[in-house]
Copies of this chain bind each other. A is one copy, B any other.
């Protein structure tokens, strides 16, 4: 069975997912497209999915009888409504992050899915599908004993003027928030943020770098350095300290040179290149689950917890170094 897929939002990421399904992955076909700019949807159709139908609205696309599953790639503020509509329609739905712009919104989706009675939604936390994180998880689960500490870093070369301090959580650290929970199979209980001297390369509206300290229910202590004006590259580091040893997230594969008085291996500078393969893997997983009428991987619950944790981290940014507790509601049986 080929899963007939509709894509809502044909901007950069929606277009790219359309290309994946049309040209790279197996088992899915693009039958429907929609964008708030009809021309944009038509352009993607002409280029990548000539047989797809363009819809005037995401709601119509979701309702279309030949659409088996939906990709929500539109602007963040519209996600909540589209995902709720997809659940209402009983259709598997892949939603790019964020699931909703507020924790309450995410909670509403959780409730809707629980009411539906089975999983329908996969949230676009693609790092869980990255080969490096998967290798790391295997080692953490089996070789280094109980995890005690995680040292992580998320560094970008630079950010635009409109990037402000809370975005370091919502746009940047959100990935660590999700992937470390998954890596450790654990939940956060508190957050603290400390600010080193700011880099002279940081704009005035962003405190950069910053260090977020998280504590988990199992007692793991996590430090995440966020440094979005690091200049040197897009560099994602993760080291897990366990009772029996340490394990590091693999570096991306690269050619080492001996040249100019140096042994050097390139570091990526564009975040789009860093986890590019994981997008293929997450969407293939979505297609396979959608063929069965369900969803796997990062759930609405994960999206909801990420939203609660992000909110606590942003509160901690303003708390002058104080520790901010993170309290989660009870986890519904659907997500255990």
Contact = CB atoms under 8 A, between A and B. Distances in A.
Contacts of A221: 194-196, 211
A230 B231 CA distance: 30
Contacts of A146: 197, 199-200
A22 interface: yes
A115 interface: no
Contacts of A138: 255
A15 to B, nearest CB: 16
B249 A255 contact: yes
Nearest to A263: B265
Nearest to A227: B241
A256 B266 CA distance: 13
B267 A257 contact: no
B259 A262 contact: no
Interface in A109-158: 131-132, 135-136, 138-139, 143-146, 148-149, 151, 157
Nearest to A244: B231
Contacts of A233: 258, 261-262
B211 A197 contact: no
Interface in A274-322: 284, 321
Interface in A190-249: 194-201, 209, 211, 213, 215, 218-221, 223, 225, 227, 230-233, 235, 241, 243-249
A254 interface: yes
A248 B264 CA distance: 11
22 contacts: A22-B26, A24-B284, A25-B26, A131-B253, A135-B255, A139-B255, A146-B200, A148-B199, A148-B227, A149-B211, A194-B213, A196-B219, A211-B223, A230-B241, A231-B245, A231-B259, A233-B262, A246-B257, A246-B258, A246-B259, A250-B254, A264-B264
Interface of A: 22-27, 131-132, 135-136, 138-139, 143-146, 148-149, 151, 157, 194-201, 209, 211, 213, 215, 218-221, 223, 225, 227, 230-233, 235, 241, 243-269, 284, 321, 323
The list of the 7 closest CB pairs from A to B, nearest first, reads A197-B219, A245-B259, A264-B264, A196-B221, A246-B258, A250-B253, A148-B196
